[in-house]
Chains A and B, each alone.
Chain A
Amino acid sequence: MFKDITIGQYYPTGSYVHELDPRTKILVTFALIAGLFIINTFVPYTYIVAFILGVVFISRIPLNFVLKGLKPLRVIIIFTFLINIFAGQGEAIWRIGPLSVTGEGIYKALFMAIRLILLVVGTSLLTLTTSPISLTDGIERLLNPLRKIGVPAHELAMMMTIALRFIPTLLEETDKIMKAQMARGADFESGNIISRAKGLVPLLVPLFISAFRRADELAMAMEARCYRGGEGRTKMKELKMDGRDTMALVTTALLLVVLIVHRTMV
């Protein structure tokens, strides 16, 4: 049942994109998100789509695997689409009871749905091509300058690393406990909301207990290995940017410029 969740999942292929510095990929992703909010017409979407398709192609991740990440979000996407389609002003094309669909509504609904889809696909590419460890490494380095104003960069990164590290473990654990309770006749699928919520108790209690136990054990193991926070800690793999990172950043910058120019011209 958790098979469809590809957000946050790493898909190693060893491609050019995978080998980029994580900071580059984080910056590119932020630029892409910014780009998606800069544009206000459909035409520039084609540039972004082309850019994303290009990245997917170079990363050698099957396109349908990337798109699978949209599946768990389809409800949200459809919901956004429906809200927008009824929210437009102007002359109604269709009427369904008190709701009316206008030309502007259709335009906006499509626009928002595409934005959402590209947002999800674009950001999931970051995690698909970057292992959690190097991702948090990148975040830590990017946040480092903010340490001066009291941002605990290392601690944040460590927390994220651990959280990301335990997502698959917890999913696996959930799956196992669910199966164990189903073998004892528990039913997680039918009934009304209240009985379903009650039905979750046999799942949640063991899950919490095991999560706390794991956290405890992990803290112990870290202390046993003399973990004392980020102060004076050195890295085994120092991050280094090279020519390829420059190329990726320049390409992204160009895309962003094109998008901005497009916006000011229209």
Chain B
Amino acid sequence: MSIEVENLTYIYNPGSPFETKALEDVNVEIKSGEFVGLIGHTGSGKSTLVQHLNGLIKPTSGKIVVNGIDITDKTVKLSDIRRKVGLVFQYPEHQLFEETVYKDIAFGPQNLGLTETEIDERVREAMELVKLPFDELKDRSPFELSGGQKRRVAIAGVFAMKPEVLVLDEPTSGLDPRTRDEVLEEIKTLHDRYKNTVILVSHSMEDVAKLVERIIVMHNGKIIFQGTPRDVFKEVETLESIGLGVPQISYLIRALREKGINLKDDIFTVEEAKKEILKWIRSRKNV
């Protein structure tokens, strides 16, 4: 499922003293099956943009075309769009409401009108994906769980709807490093398993560097550039000027290069850096 955003502008509270232009003439295209990262500083308009993608916000002007259908058209049934484009909100654990974990995760599939057996299957699968033990947790109240577990339940609630496009708005904010890595890994597993389109909103370069195929950078309601992590992370100065920077490991590589050590200039994951540095050490031994 592809998404095209054309000349999208959005203004909060138009005509009042609190008017804010959150998005300005945004143009972006996301292809079917792509895994993209949307990054930007606080207030750059990321959340506003992603809420347009399933029609939760109506644009002030511009178009959003999902799979060839312009969803800003009044005749389009938004419920159809919403079952195809799943959105995990920032701090999704605040939306939990059911008595049990099972029922909460089943809420989405139920609204899709699935049968009991299908729902059961989906809940099991979603819990397995986010690594929540089904038998142990299914009858627990979601409010008794730890913060990380709550987050997983909330994410599972959207996974269970099996959206063709999955949008996650800062799914790892406020989590400890280990849970963060696990959650990201789970998202990656889902993407690999179903080949669905995933849009990951984040302001952590580390997070997106490891996972995504393409990065879209937002600043002050505009998309300032996009490309593969390799291309984007070359723009260190621009990224720093908008308060973002590049992954920590890239700084190390840069410092090493300045010392005259011959390494590639487009390394941005720890694994890759390890490989390259080892290669360099070995090449020196041989001399």
Contact = CB atoms under 8 A, between A and B. Distances in A.
Most buried by A among B97, B110, B112: B97
A185 B95 contact: no
A11 interface: yes
Interface in A1-46: 3, 11-13
Chain A binding surface, main DSSP class: helix
A19 B168 CA distance: 46
Contact of B97 (A11, A12, A202): A202
B111 A184 contact: yes
Contacts of B152: none
A183 B97 CA distance: 15
Contact of B157 (A12, A177, A179, A184): A184
Contact of A183 (B13, B16, B86, B112): B86
A176 interface: yes
A185 B94 contact: no
A182 B54 CA distance: 10
Given A11-B17, A12-B17, A206-B97, A185 B87 contact: no
A209 B97 CA distance: 9
Interface string B20-57: 00000000000000000000000000000001001010
Contact of A185 (B16, B82, B89, B92): B82
Interface in B76-95: 79, 82-83, 86-87, 89, 92, 94-95
A65 B16 CA distance: 8
B196 to A, nearest CB: 16
Contacts of B56: 179, 182-183
A192 B83 CA distance: 23
Nearest to A179: B56
Interface residues of A, number: 22
B93 to A, nearest CB: 9
A187 B110 CA distance: 12
Contacts of A209: 143
Contacts of B134: none
B221 interface: no
B171 interface: no
B89 A3 contact: no
A183 B168 CA distance: 12
Contact of A184 (B51, B94, B161): B161
A206 B107 CA distance: 14
Nearest to A3: B13
A184 B143 contact: no
B127 interface: no
Contact of B161 (A12, A65, A185, A187): A185
Contacts of A180: 87, 89, 92, 94-95
A177 B108 CA distance: 14
Contacts of A183: 54, 56, 82, 86-87, 89, 158
A209 B108 CA distance: 21
A1 B51 CA distance: 15
A185 B51 contact: no
B96 A206 contact: yes
A176 B89 CA distance: 9
A186 interface: yes
A185 B54 CA distance: 11
B13 A177 contact: no
A201 interface: yes
A225 B111 CA distance: 46
Given A12-B17, A179-B51, A202-B107, A185 B112 contact: yes
B82 A182 contact: yes
A149 interface: no
Contacts of A210: 94
B94 A177 contact: yes
A173 to B, nearest CB: 8
A205 interface: yes
A169 interface: no
B179 to A, nearest CB: 21
A103 B275 CA distance: 93
7 contacts: A3-B13, A176-B94, A181-B107, A183-B82, A184-B157, A185-B82, A185-B83
Interface of B: 13, 15-17, 51, 54, 56, 79, 82-83, 86-87, 89, 92, 94-97, 107-108, 110-112, 143, 157-158, 161
Enumerate the 8 nearest inter-chain pairs by beta-carbon distance, A residue then B residue, closest first.
A185-B111, A205-B97, A180-B95, A184-B108, A183-B87, A180-B89, A179-B56, A202-B97
